């Protein structure tokens, strides 16, 4: 089954049409930006090669990072996106998933804030 078919089935079964646009935005955005997102994971967690991060944690991180970088921060503020990712990791990952996701996303968020601050100073 291809990604679009899985996406359609999951929206119909679990979400409904009211969230369809947001879910498609996340799905397509993560796929389109996966190389950039994966590089950020590798930089934030250098002791964990991407192939060694369990599937749930890896995909939760991808979604969380996508929301941090490309999301609408008026609708989903960065701290909310991080908290939601942590909760999903706790619910579906291993015992250490919540802490791991929190650490990686927290590192990336701090780096993004620092970069934004540097850009503001340049103006």
**For residue range 4-13, what is the model confidence (pLDDT) as tens digits?**
888 888 888 8
Q: Strand, helix or coil at 49?
A: coil
Fold for the domain defined by 34-122: N-utilizing Substance Protein B Homolog; Chain A (1.10.940)
Q: Please write the tens of the pLDDT for every residue from 18-60.
A: 788 888 999 999 999 999 999 999 999 999 999 999 999 999 9
Percent of the chain's residues with pLDDT above 70:
93
Dihedral angle sign, alpha carbons of residues 59, 63, 65, 66: positive
104 and 41 Cβ atoms separated by less than 8 Å: yes
Question: What pTM was estimated for this model as a whole?
Answer: 0.88
pLDDT exceeds cutoff 90 at 84: yes
81 and 67 Cβ atoms separated by less than 8 Å: yes
Domain borders along the chain are 34-122
DSSP output for 24-83 = HHHHHHHHHHHHHHHHHHHHH-TTS-GGGS-HHHHHHHHHHHHHHHHS-TTTS-HHHHHH
| Mean pLDDT on 61-73 | 94
């Amino acid at each position: 089954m291809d990604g679009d078919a899985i996406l359609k089935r999951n929206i119909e079964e679990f979400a409904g049409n009211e969230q369809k646009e947001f879910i498609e935005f996340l799905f397509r955005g993560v796929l389109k930006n996966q190389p950039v997102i994966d590089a950020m994971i590798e930089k934030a967690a250098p002791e964990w090669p991407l192939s060694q991060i369990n599937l749930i944690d890896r995909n939760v991180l991808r979604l969380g990072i996508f929301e941090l970088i490309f999301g609408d921060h008026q609708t989903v503020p960065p701290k909310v996106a991080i908290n939601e990712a942590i909760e999903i990791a706790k619910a579906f990952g291993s015992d250490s998933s919540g802490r791991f996701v929190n650490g990686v996303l927290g590192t990336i968020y701090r780096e993004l804030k620092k970069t934004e601050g540097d850009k503001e100073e340049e103006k």
